[in-house]
Amino acid sequence: MITPIIDLHCHSTISDGLFSPEELVKYAHSKDVQVLALTDHDDIDGLDRAREKASSLGMTFINGVEISVTWQKRTLHIVGLNFDHHNEALATNLTKIRKGRDARAIKIAHGLGMAGIMGALEGARSYCKDGSVGRIHFAQYLAEKGHAKDVKSVFKKFLTPGKPGYVEHVWANLTEAVAWITGAGGVAVIAHPGRYDMGNKLYPKLMNDFKLAGGEAIEVVSGSQDPSQSEYFAKLANEYGLFASCGSDFHGPGISFRQMGQKQTIPSSCRPVWDKWPVIKKLINDDKN
């Protein structure tokens, strides 16, 4: 029996990924991924292109998006999966978030300008293909210009609280973002929970608030969190009656350690999120036979 490789979290040039939606799907196919969701930041413009490419390669495609939210003064990411991409409310609200992101980029550039770094907005834009300018694009530009030794150091030196390029930004609220996803018939998923470093008190509170808002799943397995954390999040998922999801959070080869196409096994104690989707369940059962 071969379990299909399922990747429900990755990025294209529509947000901060390296590959166009078509290239990304082709790449996933070359890595034997059979079920793929494209989850660009606050943008669903790549879905039609990715779906078309996936269907031409015989892959199963799932609509996705990754929405930035503010919860308890922290920025969290909520992935939406398998929603109707024609839903107007979702599209309108995502446009609003992107406008906020653009306004933030102007403020970041202003802060950097005050610190003597000119032309940062244009520089960051040159790293951003189709989507809106994010902090990663500033970091790439500043690293290229030698303001710090690498992208990670730029974040530390310029983009964190107290530093010239830091801008406090309020995203959507958790309850709203979950409602947009569920309102479009999708499943809301807490992305890479391991990255939030919240401690044993705040995680259960997040699960509780998320569940009350109508959230249904959590990335128990993610390319952007330590594999040793899976067990803790599997436990939380089960405690709060949430489904488990998995994804690479791939942005491009060499951009980070996150790789696409690696088998990411959801602990057997968990209910995988695709249990809700007959088309994937069938694929898995067909594979078993």
**Which residues of this protein are in contact with Zn ion, per CB under 5 A?**
66, 77, 191, 249
State the minimum distance, in angstroms, from the CB of residue 190 to Zn ion.
10
Of 153 and 256, nearer to Zn ion (C-beta) is: 256
CA pair distance 174, 182, nearest whole angstrom: 12
State the minimum distance, in angstroms, from the CB of residue 266 to Zn ion.
18
Strand partners, 219: 245
Residue 166 near residue 159, CB atoms below 8 Å: yes
Of 115 and 130, nearer to Zn ion (C-beta) is: 130
Of 111 and 134, nearer to Zn ion (C-beta) is: 134
Of 117 and 218, nearer to Zn ion (C-beta) is: 218
State the minimum distance, in angstroms, from the CB of residue 16 to Zn ion.
8
How would you label 89-110 residue by residue, b for 16+ Cβ within 10 Å and e otherwise? ebeebbeebbebbeebbeebbe
State the minimum distance, in angstroms, from the CB of residue 66 to Zn ion.
5
Token readout for 281 is: 């369940």
For Zn ion, the nearest residue by Cβ is 77
DSSP per-residue codes, 155-211? IIIIISTTSTT------EEHHHHHHHHHHTT-EEEE--GGGG--HHHHHHHHHHHHH
* Coil vs helix vs strand at 114: helix
Quick one: DSSP state of residue 10? B
State the minimum distance, in angstroms, from the CB of residue 279 to Zn ion.
23
Of 107 and 195, nearer to Zn ion (C-beta) is: 195
